């Protein structure tokens, strides 16, 4: 076994690898960019070295710099994690050439999977089921059109060298083919430098099911059963689980056998994932092999009881697979979701900023958290905005879903916006609970998963708002008692925490802000007994009795109905949860009114978030139409198109390609009219 390894990655996966290495007594070496000098993977590794600037191209994609650190530090192997250089065959070759073990498959196996067309032909020859289609080199549009008509519609055009959902078009009629082909080729050329496409029969309402495989240097390949990843948004996985609620035992065995055949076809060594598209009739077809560890590998670990990173290390060190196929068990049910710094209500725009507050459920036998950040860390603009992976486990799927809902209710993120409410609605949606969701469902019905608008459930909103008010009142009273006990005259009547004042019998006013909506309330009483008025509502005051706040648990009676709510707060904000719904409020002074301005007036184009300018498409004096693209910025591994708010003439362009800009910075102005 290795004595020291280098991890050529960052964030959550680097911390994950470090945990296993620590368990095995292996010393770890981290690398970091300028933006990651204080990151958790740097703090947790035994030693760490800087390798360049904050952009991935200047640091984590610099294979030569990473190999040089491995040499200097005496690392015997390099673990690439996922993303960055993990599927770069040239990097794997360079690592081996330097006399260092690469903890992953051989470069030759990667290259066989580098082209979707070549991979499909190879799998078909090996007897692995593939979707009917065309993968030939003749890319003449007329020839492709004839092939499309032969295959039949609906049909998918896919970039042969693509990934991440780019360069894909669904065509439902022969008359639509050529326009979609041109669009797909243009996107593929811009994204991947090559515009070759392949054609495939489009499977309606498909499921996405993948099989975890492992191979060793002795030619053994086994599978560790499946993960279902059908809950997707724009081809990006949102929820992953094992076992699949769709597969029968026979289908599971057939897919496992096909995945092993695929592994043998490319002489696969180490961890990999064979991805299949599965029709509603149960027919399954090869999509691709991800030649690395997957983000969702923890669900496989929880249902098999195995440490896949330990297996990776042992296989890379030349050991045989730790277990044969017939020893692999599948017990219980595991589900994974990813907490992101993003704003679902703004098109899932990635966020950045300091994690002012990060509260996650405690880890135990049923809840696992894989994260690369802690409270106080910063989510930067340069990398994926994932905050943590939340993985739950129980004996069956209904109980695992209940664990997921309970765990999400305990999460609170203050700083950048997050997708917690989106995930909570996902975990309760009938298509997820019933196990019927297909890969396109989220995109077709995204509004069903958006955080609830105020008033969708009037009684629920009201109870949460009253609960927040009571929690704030009880907290104020507790702070008053603590201040009184620490004062020189703790028996002073002015120290009594009942809010009573001459002339109005303890009437107190409170104000909160929910999103951009201001909410004002009036309260009378103390010690858990209150009358609460919501001026915006015409109904009579609500009577609260027996309110008690123990830690984060609030119990009370509202108009005679007993409720138990979760209350998380710090004096400036409170998050209420009733087990199904979440209400986040910012406490503000009663007589303070926020001034809000739209991000980008009719004359300005503003940066929606911090980022780097990729291209400027307008100059002073240019005439533009409303909605015309004037600039593109890059942030959080994605490009954002900035468009003119109206027709007019460009007055100023305040940023150039390569510039880093802050959120809300004015980048382009139009001449006033």
Residues with a known catalytic role: 292
Q: Which two tokens stand for residue 231?
A: 């809950």
Say if CB 381 and CB 611 are below 8 A apart: yes
Residue 342 CA to residue 468 CA, distance in Å, equals: 25
In our burial notation (b when 16+ CB lie closer than 10 A, e otherwise), range 457-470 reads: eeeebbbbbbbbbb
Residue 465 CA to residue 256 CA, distance in Å, equals: 51
Q: Pick the closest to residue 601 from 650, 644, 662, 649 (CA basis).
A: 644
Query: Other CB atoms closer than 10 Å to residue 547's CB: what's the count?
Result: 22
Query: Other CB atoms closer than 10 Å to residue 348's CB: what's the count?
Result: 17
Question: Residue 209, Cα to own-chain centre: how many angstroms?
Answer: 19
For residue 339, the cross-strand partners are: 388
Q: Pick the closest to residue 296 from 367, 241, 259 (CA basis).
A: 241
Q: What DSSP line would sit under 238-301, residue for residue?
A: EEEEES-SS--HHHHHHHHHHHHHHHHHTT--EEEEEEEEE-TTS-EEEEEEE-S--TTHHHHH
Q: Pick the closest to residue 256 from 355, 160, 330, 155 (CA basis).
A: 330
Q: Mapped to the 3 state alphabet, what secondary structure does 174-215 carry?
A: HHHHHHHHHHHHHHHHHHHCCCCEEEEECCCCCEEEEEEEEE
Conformational region of residue 535, where left means phi above 0, alpha means psi within -120 to 50, and beta covers everything else = alpha
Query: Three-class SS of residue 88?
Result: coil
Residue that the structure tokens 């995930």 belong to: 423
Write phi, then psi, for 584 (nearest 5 degrees): -110, 125
| H or E element at residue 359 | strand 357-359
Pairing mode of beta strands 27-33, 47-52: parallel
Question: Residue 79, Cα to own-chain centre: how many angstroms?
Answer: 22
Say if CB 609 and CB 663 are below 8 A apart: yes
| Angle at alpha carbon of residue 395, lines to 391 and 399, rounded to 5° | 70
Query: Three-class SS of residue 476?
Result: helix
Say if CB 666 and CB 654 are below 8 A apart: yes
Q: How many residues does the chain have?
A: 673
| H or E element at residue 655 | none
């Amino acid at each position: 076994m290795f004595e020291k390894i280098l991890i050529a990655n960052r964030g959550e996966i680097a911390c994950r690898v470090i945990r296993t290495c620590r368990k095995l007594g292996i010393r770890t070496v981290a690398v970091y960019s300028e933006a990651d000098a204080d990151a958790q993977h740097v703090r947790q590794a035994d030693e760490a070295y800087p390798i360049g600037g904050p952009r991935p191209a200047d640091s984590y994609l610099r294979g030569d710099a990473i190999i040089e650190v491995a040499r200097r530090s005496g690392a015997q192997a390099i673990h690439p994690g996922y993303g960055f250089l993990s599927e770069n065959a040239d990097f794997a070759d360079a690592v081996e050439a330097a006399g260092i073990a690469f903890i992953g498959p051989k470069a030759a196996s990667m290259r066989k999977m580098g082209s979707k067309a070549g991979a499909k032909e190879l799998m078909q020859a090996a007897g692995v089921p593939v979707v009917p289609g065309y993968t030939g080199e003749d890319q003449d549009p007329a020839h492709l059109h004839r092939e499309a008509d032969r295959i039949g519609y609906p049909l998918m055009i896919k970039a042969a060298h693509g990934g991440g959902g780019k360069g894909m078009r669904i065509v439902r009629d022969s008359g639509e083919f050529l326009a979609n082909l041109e669009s797909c080729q243009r996107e593929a050329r811009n994204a991947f430098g090559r515009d070759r496409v392949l054609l495939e029969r489009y499977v309606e309402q498909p499921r996405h099911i993948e099989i975890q495989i492992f191979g060793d240097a002795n030619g053994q390949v086994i599978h560790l059963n499946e993960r279902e990843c059908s809950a997707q948004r724009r081809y990006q996985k949102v929820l992953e689980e094992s076992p699949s609620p769709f597969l029968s035992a026979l289908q599971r065995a057939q897919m496992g056998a096909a995945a092993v055949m695929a592994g043998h076809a490319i002489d696969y060594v180490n961890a990999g994932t064979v991805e299949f598209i599965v029709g509603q009739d149960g027919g399954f077809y090869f999509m691709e092999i991800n030649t690395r560890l997957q983000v969702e590998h923890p669900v496989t670990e929880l249902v098999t009881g195995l440490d896949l990173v330990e297996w990776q290390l042992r296989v890379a060190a030349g050991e045989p697979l730790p277990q044969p196929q017939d020893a692999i068990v599948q017990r219980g049910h595991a589900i994974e979701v990813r907490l992101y710094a993003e704003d679902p209500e703004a098109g899932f725009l990635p966020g950045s900023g300091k994690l002012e507050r990060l509260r996650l459920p405690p880890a135990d036998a049923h809840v696992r958290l894989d994260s690369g950040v802690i409270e106080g860390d910063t989510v930067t603009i340069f990398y994926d905005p994932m905050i943590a992976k939340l993985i739950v486990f129980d004996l069956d799927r209904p109980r695992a879903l209940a664990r997921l809902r309970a765990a999400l209710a305990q999460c609170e993120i203050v700083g950048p916006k997050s997708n917690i409410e989106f995930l909570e609605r996902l975990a309760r949606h009938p298509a997820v609970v019933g196990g019927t969701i297909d890969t396109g469902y989220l995109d077709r019905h995204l509004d069903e998963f958006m955080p609830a608008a105020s008033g969708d459930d009037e009684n629920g909103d009201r109870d949460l708002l009253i609960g927040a008010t009571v929690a704030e009142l009880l907290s104020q009273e507790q702070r008053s008692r603590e201040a009184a006990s620490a004062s020189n005259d703790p028996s002073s009547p002015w120290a009594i925490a009942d809010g009573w004042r001459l002339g109005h019998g303890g009437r107190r006013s409170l104000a909160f802000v929910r999103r951009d909506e201001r909410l004002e309330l009036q309260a009378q009483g103390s010690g858990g007994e209150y009358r609460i008025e919501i001026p915006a509502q015409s109904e009579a005051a609500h009577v609260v009795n027996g309110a008690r706040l123990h830690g984060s648990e609030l119990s009370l009676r509202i108009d005679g109905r007993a409720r138990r709510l979760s209350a998380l707060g710090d004096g400036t904000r409170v998050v209420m949860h009733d087990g199904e719904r979440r209400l986040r409020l910012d406490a503000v002074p009663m007589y303070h009114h926020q001034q809000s301005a739209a991000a980008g007036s009719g004359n300005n184009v503003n940066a929606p978030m911090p980022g780097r300018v990729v291209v400027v498409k307008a100059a002073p004096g240019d005439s533009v139409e409303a909605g015309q693209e004037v600039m593109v910025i890059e942030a959080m591994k994605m490009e954002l198109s900035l468009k003119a708010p109206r027709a007019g003439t460009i007055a100023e362009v305040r940023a150039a390609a390569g510039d880093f800009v802050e959120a809300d910075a004015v980048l382009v102005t139009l001449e006033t009219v």
